[in-house]
Amino acid sequence: MILVVSTCADKLSEEEFVKPIVGIAGKCDVKHYTNVKDVSGYDKIIICGTALKDNEYLKNINGFLFLKETISPVLGICSGMQILCLLYGARITENKEIGMTKIKTLRENPLFSGNFEAYSLHGNGVDNLNEFYVLAESEESVQAVKHKKKNLCGIMFHPEVRNEKIIRNFLDFA
């Protein structure tokens, strides 16, 4: 079973950031992070993004400690990537990108390859990524990472918009 986790402080944002992921993932459980207790029964976990104005998740990082315990593959999207990186020693920086962005793959991975365009919607970036490999970047920032030892991937852009295949690849191959 797949677990889709909402990081949205406002329920209305879930229509925009969680529902499209559920539409791609198909049969799955959907929970807000404040309601996630035990994730041991899930094969894959996706942490969804949230609204540009929403930084509430950064104040509640301890609510995501279940991500340190799981052995299942995790994909963090936008705020989800920021959370994964924060849990493993990274720092949040200011980095705003809105709209279609050129992405360059730096390291071979099962999710995507080559150069492509993707939809970005974030006000934060990440640095101090010693525990991660950088998989992709834009001109401005790091766009995708994988933890060096664990099966945890983060993507800063929104693959549910115009790059749905990345989510399917995560579900099929990660």
Q: Is 14 one of the catalytic residues? A: no
* Minimum distance from residue 7 beta carbon to other proteins (Å): 15
Give residue for tokens 């990082």. Answer: 61
**Residue 82 contacts residue 126 (beta carbons within 8 Å):** yes
158 with 121: CB under 8 angstroms? yes
User: Around Cβ 157, how many Cβ atoms within 10 Å?
Assistant: 29
Shortest Cβ 173–other proteins spacing (Å): 23
Residues 61-100 that bind other proteins (CB under 8 A): 96, 98-100
Of 119 and 133, which CB lies nearer to other proteins in the complex structure? 119
Report whether 25 contacts 4 (CB < 8 A).
Answer: yes
**Please, which residues have CB within 8 angstroms of residue 132's CB and are 6 or more apart in sequence?**
85, 88, 90, 145, 146, 147, 148, 154
Residues 9-38, interacting with other proteins (CB under 8 A): 10-13, 15-16, 19-20, 23
Contacts of 150 (CB under 8 A, 6+ apart): none
Q: Using the rule CB under 8 A, give the single segment among 29-37, 47-55, 86-94, 133-141 that binds other proteins.
A: 47-55
3-state secondary structure of 93: strand
Interacting residue with other proteins among 28, 136, 160, 171 (CB under 8 A) = 160
Catalytic residue check, 78: yes
Spatial distance between the Cα atoms of 109 and 6, rounded to a whole number of angstroms: 25
Q: Of 31-39, 70-78, 138-146, 155-163, which segment contacts other proteins by CB under 8 A?
A: 155-163
- CB of residue 8 vs other proteins: minimum separation in angstroms? 11
User: Which residues of this protein are in contact with other proteins, per CB under 8 A?
Assistant: 10-13, 15-16, 19-20, 23, 51-54, 96, 98-100, 119, 121, 123, 160-162
Catalytic center residues: 78, 158, 160
